[in-house]
A and B are shown apart, each in its own frame.
Chain A
């Protein structure tokens, strides 16, 4: 009891009566280190979240239903969509009837059939615009013109990387080189049908993969092109949006229980290259956090070391009196733990009331989209644990190095 009381007493007196500037500096270093330990991973998590959200919002929704391997299309679509929409927690379901098409712009200006002109082959998707708006955000990303209406037949909406022009990031020769709303395109489908469409809208989804390289017409139009009687109630895919990202597995089981005849998968199984990028970001985030922690530990060590060295004589005197080494060591560890706790609290307040609100009002505008901070609890726990562990070592090592010296050397300050 005497030892514990003395340990706490020594720590308390050092904190209360110690060099105030040194204490302020230590706590400042700890606060900023803690905020930094959360900030960097949160930015990277924000980037990965944005990438994931874009995948969900523009390409796959949360759940994708594909035909089984032996089938080319899903059947009884209207009935299936109704069944899916009745599941509690499903926001919407939309059928896609996919094809490819050879698209030509200003084809009238071609001098010869061999002249490539402004053309290329892209995926074109037939959708019900109303149902699709419940599932993806293409309708919200129109940058020119307007979105499709349910009864549109000769209108097409293009991704910006097909249309080309100033806002496209793809090299011009891989686009239609500047299609504008109101322009006409000629599409040639794989079944040989050739048809002209007026560009109704151009969208920019900012998605890194392929969303901006898609074109949309109504499903009625696509069924008409492909053969109405057969394709009116068929689909290449059904996309399902649910209320809460992360619940995909639960809803996949619910949809399987409905007896839907298709392969039901979560959006992240389609991630492909973007999934690899996300995984890479997670590795980078871990590395940066680790380096940040080491830097924080070294800075804390230096500041605390200088502080402890300045008390070398006092440590020697305490030992000369007969105070046990363990009491002196633990008194310094308690001090650093106290500084770390204050650092965590102040760093947390700085992050929660300063950095986070700032980024909420000023999100980072990157080429891949708008990125906000994404804070994972595990990052906070790791930062708290890491900082406290670093503080313990930063307090322990300097004091143990002095304790190991002879008492006389410590008192003389050698």
Chain B
């Protein structure tokens, strides 16, 4: 019996095989490929033509500072840089202290800083020095972090203090001569967007935890109150809540209390976000095994001790990804503050479009805003994934 000769398969590997397998495997696959190529061509060709010839990108360069900080007094802009420098130091410190867990994020920050330096150098803006300083600070703190005793504790406390610090620096105070107060109606741009996001999230978390516990309470009055609040807020659009905060809030306060618009928006965002975070936390609470309650009870812990010491730490760890997702969606939702008159990125974009020399540059300005939001969301999503890995969510 002669040996059966099997020829080696043609095109099993290599780029052509890849093309054949992934683009031209069946007749409808071929059709789909051509459809996709045609779609790409139809969409990209005019877009690229427009971006390279017709578009007036000068509008971005001319208004970059406005995009970043809005009407923040130009003489005080060093304060914004200060917060960036401190942030760079913190990232460097975390990298040195936590090593692998923070390395990816630090490298992203480092390359972003390098990119900003190069862009600034390319366009001959003088801010390249500041970005270079930020890079240097990051690296210096990295080496410090490597040799710092009790580094993890210091880094954790420093991160915790960072947000109050940013507020103090941005808002200023009458008592500190170096930091004269800057009224909140001058805050704007990306700065305001980020402030709203951070306040909205971290302000809502305690309220959200209380509501989640309330919803699972055995006391009917508290339970129904929590359910009512959560369902009411989740059933109406965010804009109605912001509108309520902006217009109705003064009616509910004593006559001499008239909070600034930014504060009203923050209150609205906190009230909104609390309901969503309550539902996230509730998911975590429901996932806790009964045995945990029983074990705590057997050890002689009372109800509140069980909740604070046993249940909440586990539940919160479990819902960190969900909380991160809320964080990201609140970052997008802060754009609605534009509708109640806050000069965050979107409102800044609208105000740039009203400048007489940049009439009709809607696409350029909106695309730039798109890019800002998109890049930040990429960074947040990446951070989320790293945190999930570090905590071993779904693996432990």
Tell whether A pairs with B. no
